[in-house]
Structure 1
Amino acid sequence: MDYRSAFAISAVGMGLEKLRLDVTAQNLANMNVSAPSNGKLYKPLRLQVSTGVSSFSGEFEQASSLAEKMLKSVKLEEIDVSPRMVYEPGHPDANESGYVALPGVNHLSEMVNLSTALRAYEANVVAMNAAKTMAIKALELGN
């Protein structure tokens, strides 16, 4: 395996984790956005990634195909959750009982996703730096 394959795997991982961070940020940004009675309420989103890889060791040797599979299997899906009902009788979007429907975004879950994505991104950066260091050492040994 050449070093470009290791760089490609880390780059795909960093790209996916950045997408996960973007989706989490979008969910948190729309957490308290109500919809008018005739409008559509925001539904939380999740990034679904499935590789369909049967054995990691076999796919690691063919890193470019792994990167292509990962990029092709990314889906953005809406989560079907019930809205959060908050009592605010003076709100313009309140129903006749005084409740406002807000998206069913779970703040704790989103913060866990945020933390997990950050740590996974950092792990990919560490892996890329390790591959870079190995490549540099190999070049030094070759001289």
Structure 2
Amino acid sequence: MGAFDTLRIANTSLGAHQVWLDAVAGNIANVNTVRSTDQDAFQATYVIMDGLEDGGVDVTGFAKSDPEGRIVHNPEHPLADEDGYVRLPEIDMSAQMGQLVMAQRGYQASVQMTKTAQDTYTAALQIGSR
């Protein structure tokens, strides 16, 4: 492993966790998005990551939740059909909050790894300059 591999690996992790945070934020922001029953529900986005042979991580794709969502009786809503139903996304808020915590912790760990590697490299350079 080269001298700067730690920084490169941490950087891949930072990028992947940022994508994960963005996806979870979008899901949470749209948990109450109402659509008419003749439209698809908002589809939550789930990030698919894969480890790389060199120790990094890569976002390899995205998965979407079921467009059927759930049908809810809400006759006062302007998008309600003639029977009073609307379509909401099938998003479990507690699961999204768990995903948010994991993504935040992963991002924080990557930031700390980057800082530690930078401090180590700086100290090594100072030793060499004496």
Verify same fold: TM over 0.5: yes
Structure 1 residues 89-140: Cα deviation after superposition (integer angstroms, max 9, x where no partner): 1112223432221000111111111111111001001111111111111112
SS of corresponding position for 1:100: strand
Partner of 1:56: none
1:84 equivalenced with 2:59 (yes/no): no
Partner of 1:63: none
1:108 equivalenced with 2:78 (yes/no): no
Higher relative contact order (CA 8 A, sep 6+): 1
Residues 51-130 of structure 1 mapped to structure 2, 5 A cutoff: 51=51, 53=53, 59-60=54-55, 66=56, 70-71=57-58, 73-80=59-66, 83-130=69-116
Measured after TM superposition, the shift of residue 28 of structure 1 is 1.2
Contact 1:3–1:131 under 8 Å retained in 2: no
- CA distance 1:125–1:52, change in 2 (3 Å): closer
Partner of 2:49: 49
Residue correspondences, number:
129
Contact 1:13–1:121 under 8 Å retained in 2: yes
In the aligned structure 2, how far is the partner of 1:127 from the partner of 1:89? 53
Measured after TM superposition, the shift of residue 2 of structure 1 is 3.2
Q: Provide the TM-score with structure 1 as the length reference.
A: 0.79
Q: Provide the TM-score with structure 2 as the length reference.
A: 0.86
For structure 2, the 5+ residue unaligned runs are none
Instruction: Say what the alpha-carbon RMSD is for the aligned residues.
Output: 1.9
Measured after TM superposition, the shift of residue 40 of structure 1 is 2.4
SS of corresponding position for 1:27: helix
Structure 1 residues 50-71: Cα deviation after superposition (integer angstroms, max 9, x where no partner): 2364xxxxx34xxxxx4xxx43
Measured after TM superposition, the shift of residue 4 of structure 1 is 2.2
For structure 1, the 5+ residue unaligned runs are 54-58, 61-65
SS of corresponding position for 2:116: helix
Runs of 4+ in 1 over 4 A off after TM superposition: none
Counterpart amino acid of residue 116 in structure 1: M
Measured after TM superposition, the shift of residue 3 of structure 1 is 3.4
Counterpart amino acid of residue 16 in structure 1: A
